[in-house]
Amino acid sequence: MKKPLRKAVLPVAGLGTRFLPATKAMAKEMLPVVDKPLIQYAIEEARAAGIDQFCMVTGRGKTALVEHFDVAFELEATLRQRNRVEALEQLKGSQVEPGSMVTVRQQVPLGLGHAIWCARAFIGDDPFAILLPDDLVLSETPCLKQLADAYRETGGNVVAVVEVPREHTNRYGILKTGHDDGRLVEVQGLVEKPAPADAPSNLSIIGRYVLMPEVIGHLAKMERGAGNEVQLTDGMARLIGHQPFHGLRYKGTRFDCGDKAGFLEAQIAFALARPDLADAVRGFLHKYV
Ligand code: G1P
């Protein structure tokens, strides 16, 4: 029987060096797209997939991420006193059920695989999702919900995938593909950041995963891979052949918010998707292009 998916791990220990000076004293996951921080998009997406237990893998200087999901008592009392109903409403998505969010620290930057391993006590024997908040997906059905549905269909591991230009394979985890029905792809191999000439396909993993807890045992070996880091991709590769493993071509558009151009594109796309802003944004955009 497939265990229900209720847990999500959010690795947020990165330094955000690509966004300095903005991230000098602020967690990069607190950068807003329109008016909501990246981390809140990730939590809301997880919730929409039925997840109700969250673990953020944090590091030094990341306390704002924890504060963000707390009750802001003074702020809320003041808003209530002033009858600011709309502002109060806007705070709702930033509150989680008491006791539903924990953090663990990744004290040393040894890679994404190591960050996930740091959450091993939280994961226990349960299937779990991973959301990388840098990857933002604009879609009708939230991307992780699509993955959770695919997990219920196939069992085992499911990762969100998209075709990328050949010359970009060295930026992503890349699939060696088996049976492919155009939506679900059987994963026969996984390689982290291969050079275009060595890439087994141009189907890349984006930052949304549903994984089985057995991956932790492989990550625990702390084998170093690409960039001399403990790679999640390598740990996942060890599961192939032992458990079902699929890639899902999700429906939606991914924005790489870890990159300045991708982040700016996300601002425009998300603003245009907002009824309260679309006209104004469309109105000024043509001035600049
Ligand atoms: C990580 C993963 C990579 C994946 C990517 C998605 O890389 O290691 O397999 O394709 O996220 O964004 P990073 O972006 O941390 O270098």
Instruction: Supply the pLDDT for residue 249.
Output: 98
Q: Is-contact 184 246, C-beta < 8 A?
A: yes
Q: For position 1, what pLDDT does the model report?
A: 67
CA-nearest residue, atom 1 of ligand 1? 172
pLDDT (tens place) for every residue of the chain, 289 residues total: 689 999 999 999 988 889 999 999 999 999 999 999 999 999 999 999 999 999 999 998 899 999 999 999 999 999 999 999 999 999 988 999 999 999 999 999 999 999 999 999 999 999 999 999 999 999 999 999 999 999 999 999 999 999 999 999 999 999 999 999 999 999 999 999 999 999 999 999 999 999 999 999 999 999 999 999 999 999 999 999 999 999 999 999 999 999 999 999 999 999 999 999 999 999 999 888 8
Question: Within 6 Å (CB) of ligand 1, which residues are found?
Answer: 112, 132, 135, 172-173, 192, 204-207, 232-233
Residue 128 CA to ligand 1 centre (angstroms): 18
Residue among 114, 132, 187 whose CB has most ligand 1 atoms within 8 A, to mutate = 132
C-alpha dist (Å) from residue 178 to 87, 194, 203: 50, 18, 12
Q: Whose CA is nearest to atom 13 of ligand 1?
A: 172
Report pLDDT for 2: 83
Which residue ranges make up each domain of the chain? 7-278
Q: What is the DSSP letter of 93?
A: G
Distance separating alpha carbons of residues 271 and 275, to the nearest angstrom: 8
- Nearby residues of 14 by Cβ (< 8 Å), 6 or more positions away: 28, 59, 109
Q: Does the predicted model carry a pTM greater than 0.85?
A: yes
Cα–Cα distance, 65 to 54 (Å, whole number):
12
Class in CATH terms, 7-278: alpha beta
